[in-house]
Chain A
Amino acid sequence: MGSVVTVQPYYKDGKSSDKLKKEIIEEIKRVDLIISKNNTESELYGINQNSGKENKISKELFDYIWDTTDIYSLSGNKLSVTSGALTELWGIDTEEFRLPDDSEIKKAIPLCLDSNIRVTENDLKISIGVQEGQIFNLGSVGKGIACDKAVEIIASEEQCEGAVVSVGGSVAVYGTHDGKDIWTVGIRDPYGSASDIFAKLNVKNCFISTSGNYEKKFIIDGKTYHHILDLETGYPVENDLAAVTVVASSGLESDAFSTMCYVLGEEESRKLLEMYEAEAVFIYSDKTVSVTDGLKESLEIINDDYSLK
């Protein structure tokens, strides 16, 4: 997956052990072997190699695809689990960016439509198929899924009272630490260095993800392109958002929603967030910040350049 995983567990007796961390790393490696688009050993890679035909699929991978599609279908055709044709065209997954031709983009757009996914169920065996050239890509939810799995393991460990997990910036806070159930999660300053945060969120038992235009970007002919694509236009989203942070009850949801909210913008996102009882912080490029009602009390802006709308 290429993301940095940090786990900080808290134990009831104050002791610490590396066992839990090792288990979590093993579990994340296992999940990566299912959902990774670029790992040639993974289940998803095998299915993508065989696009256009019916493929047997594990229940686990099917669920990840299905849960993500559930959320992305709310976006119309702007997001999809089959975004691979466009993300590969732009070189986003490999970070070897390129600026594709208009004609290439036009050809790739229909290959991203999730309405092409065919599912057949038969004796409890599921098969999945897409158009030839259509490529599944769970990259936008992979870190969140890893957080989900990490919390499952932590919850099963009786001696562990709580933990904070970060997988490449997607975060899970679970249980208590030193008796407190509130955790402080910094939100990175989109215009600062990697170590700068502009606000803190005081939250408990939740999953938090952020999507921003600063994560991966490249400049061609003086124009800056970032990595979040609108699959309807085939180009990176252009709006006045710098980043969106989403708090949800699962990592898959917080990951999927942070990307979706960034693409759709605040107005449309607010309705969809309500359906999933998720909350969000919208950070605009003029350094104004807008926040959903459920987070009003939890958000603490610590950089004076930023102000609430």
Chain B
Amino acid sequence: MKRKLITKKDFILIVVLALVSVSLLVFNSFYKKDGETAVISVDGKTVKVLDLSKIDKKAEIELENGVVITAENGTVCFTESDCRDKVCIGTGKISKAGDTAVCVPNKTVITVIGESDSFDTVTY
């Protein structure tokens, strides 16, 4: 048996897979509108809802788990975390509806939601 590096069929399969992923990504970034609200959750529980359209000056929010989240000009991002890999901070600023930034070690998620599902607050 001599296995090849790549066969014609493989090539087609990889290209199809790549096309699907790229189109998902393109669809996401082109059709996503700017979000209005950022929902911060820790361990599956909402801890804070930020109205991004109303934040005019830089706002820093420190959560109970020590994570610091900064909101500014309609964007929101992780700025401080005690986790070791800092993937959350590396994600950078998010602003579009559907965007998420995650700090897995601290179980913290920021989700931006858009105008169509905007609200003043949430009851839970």
Q: Inside 8 A of B45's CB, which chain A residues have their CB?
A: 194
- Proximity bits, B78-121, A CB within 8 Å = 1, else 0: 00000000000000000000000000000001010100011111
Q: A193-B44, A195-B111 are in contact. Are A6 and B49 (CB under 8 A)?
A: yes
- Proximity bits, A254-282, B CB within 8 Å = 1, else 0: 00000000000000000000000000000
Q: How far is the CB of A256 from chain B (nearest CB, A)?
A: 15
A8-B48 in contact (CB<8A): no
Cα–Cα distance between A182 and B64 once the two chains are bound (Å): 32
Interface presence of A210 (CB below 8 A): yes
Q: Inside 8 A of B70's CB, which chain A residues have their CB?
A: none
Q: Among the listed A4, A186, A215, which residue makes an inter-chain contact with B119, where contact means beta carbons less than 8 Å apart? A: A186
Interface presence of A52 (CB below 8 A): no
Cα–Cα distance between A277 and B13 once the two chains are bound (Å): 63
- Which B residues fall within an 8 A CB radius of A? 39, 41, 44-49, 51, 54, 56, 109, 111, 113, 117-124
Closest 9 CB pairs of A and B: A194-B41, A195-B39, A188-B124, A169-B124, A186-B119, A194-B46, A195-B111, A186-B122, A184-B119
- Selected A-B contacts with CB under 8 Å, 26 pairs: A4-B46, A6-B121, A8-B120, A164-B120, A164-B121, A166-B122, A166-B123, A169-B46, A169-B122, A171-B123, A183-B121, A184-B119, A185-B121, A186-B119, A186-B122, A187-B122, A187-B123, A188-B123, A193-B44, A194-B46, A194-B109, A194-B124, A195-B111, A200-B119, A210-B124, A212-B124
